[in-house]
Amino acid sequence: MLPGGRMIRSAGQFIRRPAARYLALTAVAVAIVVAGLVILASVLIESWSRQDVDLRSRLVFRSVRDRIVAAADSPQQADIGALFERITEDERILALGFCTPEGELRYATKDFPRSITCQAVDRDKRRTFDTTSSGRRVSVGIFPVNAPQAAGDLLVIHDLAYVDERAAEARVYAGLALGGIAAGLGLFAFAVVSALTRSWARSIRGILQGTSAGAEAASPFSGSPIGRAVHATLAELRAERRFGSDINVDWSPQTLHRLLVERLPDSQVMVVSNREPYIHNRSSEGIVLQNPASGLVAALEPIMRACGGVWIAHGSGSADRDTVDRHDRLQVPPVDPAYTLRRVWLSEEEQTGYYYGLANEGLWPLCHIAFVRPTFREADWLQYCKVNERFAETVVQEATRDDPIVLVQDYHFALLPRMIRDRLPKATIITFWHIPWPNAETFSICPWRNAIIEGLLGSTILGFHTQLHCNNFLEAADRFMESRVDREHMSVTYRGHEVLVRPYPISIEWPPAALANQAPVASCRASVQRQFGLSSDVRIAVGIERFDYTKGILDRLKAVDDLLTRHPEWSGRFVFIQAAAPTRSKLGAYSALQEEAETLVNWINAKHGTRDFAPIRLVIRHHEPDEVFELFRAADMCVVSSLHDGMNLVAKEFVAARDDEQGVLILSTFAGASRELSEALLVNPYDTHGMADALQTALQMPSPEQRNRMRLMRELIRERNVYRWAAQMLLDASHIRQRQRIGSAEPDSQRRSA
């Protein structure tokens, strides 16, 4: 970001410089078109003039043909010569002549060109021809006279100078006319562009300076997708400028904490999620602490360490009850406590219906469109409602003020925002939907679609990963709810309450905590080689996922098979390590996926492997963050082949792990991360052949190209880290709370003035 004054001054230049270039290109294009039209006009004038010459020649022939026949063998031959001279008094007819079949020029005017002889006339092949006489261009028309007593050819010679003059005049007049029209249109376009430039410049200055609340709405093209994107970017710059005090904002835990202190003083921040950030389980060695394999936890845990507050989650660990106080609270992280974890206990029946049933057999496949049929049961829905009510009551219990900031996370709590709104009307509720939101036609199959949308519309801000998911939600709200949808400002008003719908692409912390204790890349590679019994010349690809059918694990395994089939030279020199954490194993679709993956791996290893070497290593267990980052740093490439994903933070973690700026990311176009990490090798996971080609490309990619791609992706993730993601939502929440305070204060001031 530019310093304050320079940023404002550059606002006009931001638009004027591209506009000037476009005007220059337009002027060049107009000049080319005008030149082409002038040439076309010249050609047309010459064509019309030649037609005029031919017509006049035929008229002359018809007027003298009978006189020539009558004068044959008579004393009137002298009259023919005089007739020819009179006809040539026309300034365009240069000369007339009559050639006999023997090649004799019987009649000719005094200006008949000597260079044109009767022997040169080829009446069998040409009726007219052009030639040069005395330095000027002439046209010779040949008309045969077939009377027995006067057989021969009449030659009508026209001076073509007037044709050239006509063409030149046409070029001049056409050029002036078209140039005038182009100049008029150009001036009009310049005036329009100048007006738009000044208007946008004023709008941008107003946004950056914060002096005009209506600047965004008044801007040209404010309703267009480009206008909305520009306004969103400028609003973000304005927010960062106001918070950053005219310095570059490097989003970190410290700056995020400072934002809370300055923008949201004395605010209580609460997070509600199904998954808890720390799980305590019993083992043979006692109570073991585990960090779950969850993208949601990976994104939110650094935020809570920076912000403090309360995290409310389901206590799912076998030893979770043994580690909380009498209020079911626990201070975390264990080493350096920064916030409170409040655990909510669910019965087996509640967890089966709410989590495994409605959430993961219903909403998960519905939203991911992964070609697994969603299952909707009334009993599951009732448990889902019951658990959402339980969490709403817990939020009220943990709230220390009537207007907390509540960050509701994911599809497990679609009803929760409305329930909190009913209990805490002043709360600022930021709901983030971590998975895709399908189009309205797809979402319509959910039996409780209206209740889910109504629940989400209790939010203050509703966030998604991408603009597409925002558009899909607006479409669903417009179609199924009696609401007012404002697509220009991306909001839905329902029952008098306005909800902002915004894209907030989630990210990871920078630098990642797991990177702090990592050995150098060479050491990580050597360690992984020892673990899997690999020689130093074997190329390594990794995939790190939960065992979920949306992650495309089977598809990437088939791509490895296709690579080794078409490129057998990699046999024994390439290994794919798939680390897969078991998840939702109670559900048939997930257990079946694991069985199918194991069967496929055994088949591929039998096909391409040897007794001493297996090309695919499937490791089914939970991996701690340090283990994951060691695999990332050891690998030559990482494959993320999601069939559908809201974002997918594995892709960003791989990039963040590669501080050596080496390695290749192969990324599905159906993952939200592909909208940001365009330097990855983007693939269609349903195209096995194409994915195998991407593996081959990655194996052959030179080191400088890897460095260039990785450097760009690392810079983007560094700038757009998870603290910036949280800051965007909190800044928006701050602006809304300020407007609400102003709105609630107006009646009091009006009453006092009265």
Q: What is the mean pLDDT of residues 490-514?
A: 93
Mean pLDDT to the nearest integer, 281-289: 90
Q: Domains in the chain, start-ordered, CATH in brackets?
A: 254-480+490-503 (3.40.50.2000), 513-720 (3.40.50.2000)
| pLDDT of 242 | 47
pLDDT at 111: 80
For 572-589, what is the mean pLDDT? 88
The token pair that represents 724 in the structure block: 């910036």
Beta bridge partners of 272: 312, 408
Q: Which two tokens stand for residue 559?
A: 């791509």
Tell me which of 54-68, 179-193, 222-236, 319-333 is least confident: 222-236
Over 50: is that where the pLDDT of 215 sits? Answer: no
- Which tokens is 86 given? 């009179």
More confident residue, 322 or 46: 322
pLDDT at 465: 95
Mean pLDDT for 343-354 is 96
pLDDT at 75: 57
C-alpha span between 205 and 210 (Å, rounded):
8
Q: What is the pLDDT of residue 216?
A: 45
Tens-place pLDDT, residues 25-65: 777 777 787 777 777 777 787 787 778 888 888 888 888 87
Do 470 and 503 touch, CB atoms closer than 8 A? yes
Of 95, 75, 98, give the one whose Cα is nearest residue 85: 95
Tokens standing for residue 482? 């009696």
- 130-145 pLDDT, tens digit per residue, is 777 666 788 888 888 8
pTM of the entire structure?
Answer: 0.68
| CA–CA gap between residue 551 and residue 594 (Å, rounded) | 12
- Evaluate if residue 742 carries a pLDDT over 80: no
Residue 63 confidence (pLDDT): 80
pLDDT score of 533 more than 60: yes
Q: Among residues of the chain, what percentage have pLDDT more than 90?
A: 54
Residue 489 has pLDDT above 60, yes or no: yes
**pLDDT value at residue 217:** 45
**What does DSSP say about strands 428-432 and 339-344: parallel, antiparallel, or unpaired?**
unpaired
Lowest-confidence segment of 92-101, 115-124, 667-676, 714-723 by average pLDDT: 115-124
Here the tokens at position 166 are: 């006509």
pLDDT tens string 429-466: 999 999 999 999 999 999 999 999 999 999 999 999 99
> Which pLDDT score is estimated for 20?
61
Only one residue has tokens 């939010």, namely 459
Contact criterion met (CB below 8 Å) for 152 and 106: yes
Cα 754 to Cα 273, 712, 741, 748: the distances in Å are 48, 61, 20, 10
> Which pLDDT score is estimated for 74?
64
- Residues facing 485 on adjacent strands: 492
Q: Report which of residues 555 and 33 the model is more confident about.
A: 555
**Mean pLDDT confidence for 233-259:** 63
Mean pLDDT of 5-22: 50
- pLDDT value at position 367? 94
Q: Which of 141-150, 241-250, 304-313 has the lowest mean pLDDT?
A: 241-250
Retrieve residue 15's tokens. Answer: 């638009």
Higher pLDDT, 530 or 243: 530
Look at residue 495 and tell me whether its pLDDT is greater than 70: yes
Within 8 A by CB and 6+ apart from 475, the residues are 439, 440
**Token match 């916030």: residue?**
339
Q: How far is it, in rounded angstroms, from Cα 383 to Cα 349? A: 8
Percent of the chain with pLDDT over 70: 86
**pLDDT for 636-655, tens place per residue?**
999 999 999 999 999 999 99
